Amino acid sequence: MQSTTVDLNAKIPNNVGLADDPKLLRALEKWLPRYLEWWHDMGPTDFEDKPVFLRTAVSVSTDGWAHYDHVRMPDYRWGIFLNPREEESEIRCGDDAGKPAWHEIPGEHRNALRRIIVTQADTEPASVEQQRMLGHMAPSLYDLRNLFQVNVEEGRHLWAMVYLLHKYFGRDGRDEADELLERRSGDVDKPRILGAFNQPCDHWLSFFAFTMFTDRDGKYQLAALAQSGFDPLARTTEFMLTEEAHHLFVGETGLDRIIKRSAELEQIDPNGDIRNQGGIDFDLIQRTINYWFTYSLDLFGGEISSNAADFFAAGLKGRYREDRLDEHRALGQEYRLNVVDGGKLTERDVPLRNAMNEVLRDSYVKDCERALRKWNRTLEAAGSKTRLTLPSRRFHRHQGIYTDHFFNPEGQLITADQWEANKHRWVLTPADNDYLLSIMKPVYEPGKFANWIAAPTRGIDGQPLDFEYVKLHD
Ligand code: BYC
Ligand code: FE
Ligand code: FE
């Protein structure tokens, strides 16, 4: 089972020995056509017959795990891969830290694990649904290919979670796997589970912000689950993280390229008017950052959470890089939080275990701050005086202890009226979306890029920028 050999010729490529488990294989082969039907209905529109230069996971060894070639998306080889582990795995945190990890579901944690896995699984198809129209306004073939790469890998992440549901949760797991194909992003009757995954992602500015901020929540959640005492979950999520790095690259560099181009257009225009040059002005970029950063903060859950304490105590979910910390119990320690009390912001200490969502959010925010510093260096190098910022983590929240209050981007308490009067300056508006849709016309000529974005510094897998990343005519 601890195999690095991947059965690539199987109907479902895998390194989990599916061929030796006929019952599981049958269940997954029954799910496969339903998945393909979902992909056809809810995946990227209209590009199904076009060969895309995609990377496919073919191995779990760190060198050369991926293979690049032109493939049509419905023919993509969605597989099931677990990272191998050399040492005998241990529970890494909580009350049982140091004891052997579980290779089967411990009965007392069955419900919690099922909930964690279903929540993680649900985000993967949701993001594909949110992005399904974006191919029609891609700024280049390079970007179009990156969009589809992200989409097929989110599809594979769904496979990764569905494997766990089918293998370890019996009948309930199969039912959950079916329901994952029935919920729909933004649907009033059967929405996706988490807030950010029901928000529209109408254009490429939101796509880049989504892959920057929302996929980055994915990175931290997966990293926390990679510390899980349920060994198959830890090893599945570890492999997902290797793919995730590219999604974050797409988001971070995509925004950087827009920022760079906007700074150029600011210099070109006699009045420094970026929109006058058909570009994306910095206020609009800031509103987009504010919007997706805060919806992504919500994905970490409440600041004070007994669920989070239970997950940690049970060893189901660790902190970011828990294995590198000195201490894994988090007992007898407190975490200081800003809370609203009697209409004022004050501080309160809560037991550290109850603040585990906030601890993970801290790691995430730090990483986002790093990206902001990078973008601001781009602005400086391009001669722009503008600087972009991250809003306070209290601003524009829909989950947790700040939900029922209003804050400005600096994190100060404001009134509902002040919020109403200013929100159009702070978060994406319908007018912003209209403007962005008006400038986002597709550019499908190899090597050409839309006016509102700079070219990347290099191509994919050593290919030149004018490579035919998606073959639209053949
Ligand atoms: N929206 O104790 P609380 C990714 C619910 S992204 C709606 O505060 P807890 C990806 C919560 O379910 C990573 N509801 O938080 C990215 C609970 O409901 P119940 C996804 C929310 O329990 C891009 C209640 O509020 N992975 O991979 O600690 C593209 C109170 O809960 C939200 C995971 O999420 C929200 N934002 O939950 C593709 C990892 N937040 O039980 C993919 C698995 C909380 O009272 N999930 N609620 O009905 C978890 O570990 C946890 O469930 C949470 C936090 C992180 C969501
Ligand atoms: Fe994913
Ligand atoms: Fe992702």
Phi/psi at 359 (5° precision):
-65, -40
Query: Average pLDDT in the 266-287 region?
Result: 98
* Half-sphere exposure of residue 346: CA atoms within 13 angstroms, side-chain side: 7
What angle, rounded to 10 degrees, do the helices at 356-381 and 215-225 form?
140
Percent of the chain whose pLDDT exceeds 70: 99
* Best probe residue, ligand 1, of 93, 109, 111, 119 (max atoms within 8 Å of C-beta): 119
443 CB-contact burial (10 Å; exposed 0-12 / middle 13-18 / buried 19+) = buried
- Of the candidates 352, 355, 300, the one whose C-alpha atom is nearest the C-alpha of residue 330 is 352
pLDDT digits (tens, 9 = 90+) for 200-221: 999 999 999 999 999 999 999 9
Whole-number pLDDT of residue 3: 57
Query: Average pLDDT in the 93-118 region?
Result: 97
Please give the distance, rounded to the nearest whole angstrom, from the Cα atom of residue 355 to the centre of ligand 1. 14
Mean pLDDT, the chain, rounded, equals 96
Whole-number pLDDT of residue 2: 47
Beta carbons of 281 and 258 less than 8 angstroms apart:
no
- Of the candidates 92, 55, 31, the one whose C-alpha atom is nearest the C-alpha of residue 235 is 92
Whole-number pLDDT of residue 235: 96
Please determine, for residue 8, whether its predicted confidence score (pLDDT) is greater than 90: no
Please determine, for residue 102, whether its predicted confidence score (pLDDT) is greater than 80: yes
pLDDT band, residue 304 (cuts 50/70/90): very high
Whole-number pLDDT of residue 452: 98
pLDDT band, residue 40 (cuts 50/70/90): very high
pLDDT band, residue 1 (cuts 50/70/90): very low
Q: How far apart are CA 459 and CA 348, in angstroms?
A: 49
Whole-number pLDDT of residue 4: 62
Of 473 and 380, more confident: 380
CA–chain centroid gap for 30, Å, is: 28
Please give the distance, rounded to the nearest whole angstrom, from the Cα atom of residue 299 to the centre of ligand 1. 5
Lowest mean pLDDT, pick from 9-13, 114-118, 468-472: 9-13
Q: How far apart are CA 316 and CA 97, in angstroms?
A: 11
pLDDT band, residue 127 (cuts 50/70/90): very high
* H helix or E strand, kind and range, residue 123: helix 110-130
Whole-number pLDDT of residue 269: 98
Beta carbons of 440 and 342 less than 8 angstroms apart:
no
pLDDT digits (tens, 9 = 90+) for 138-156: 999 999 999 999 999 999 9
| Ligand whose nearest atom lies closest to the CA of 150 | 3
* Best probe residue, ligand 1, of 299, 306, 401 (max atoms within 8 Å of C-beta): 299
pLDDT digits (tens, 9 = 90+) for 330-386: 999 999 999 999 999 999 999 999 999 999 999 999 999 999 999 999 999 999 999
- In the chain, where are the structural domains located? 18-439
| Ligand whose nearest atom lies closest to the CA of 154 | 2
Q: How far apart are CA 139 and CA 146, in angstroms?
A: 11
CB atoms within 10 A of CB 44: 22
Please give the distance, rounded to the nearest whole angstrom, from the Cα atom of residue 312 to the centre of ligand 1. 15
Query: Average pLDDT in the 297-324 region?
Result: 98
Whole-number pLDDT of residue 143: 98
Please give the distance, rounded to the nearest whole angstrom, from the Cα atom of residue 370 to the centre of ligand 3. 19
Please give the distance, rounded to the nearest whole angstrom, from the Cα atom of residue 244 to the centre of ligand 2. 6
Beta carbons of 76 and 153 less than 8 angstroms apart:
no
Pick the CATH number of 18-439 from 2.170.190.11, 3.30.43.10, 1.10.760.10, 1.10.620.20: 1.10.620.20
Of 464 and 4, more confident: 464
> How distant, in Å, are the alpha carbons of 188, 242, 418, 424 from that of 421?
28, 44, 5, 8
- Residues in contact with ligand 1 (CB, 6 Å cut-off): 116, 119-120, 123-124, 127, 154, 194-195, 214-215, 217-218, 221, 298-302, 305, 307-308, 317, 357, 399
* Best probe residue, ligand 1, of 399, 402, 404 (max atoms within 8 Å of C-beta): 399
Question: For ligand 2, a single-atom ion, which residues have Cβ within 5 Å?
Answer: 124, 154, 157
Percent of the chain whose pLDDT exceeds 90: 94
pLDDT digits (tens, 9 = 90+) for 403-433: 999 999 999 999 999 999 999 999 999 999 9
Ligand 1 atom 15: the closest Cα is on which residue? 301
Query: Where do runs of H (alpha helix) occur along 49-101?
Result: none
Please determine, for residue 28, whether its predicted confidence score (pLDDT) is greater than 50: yes
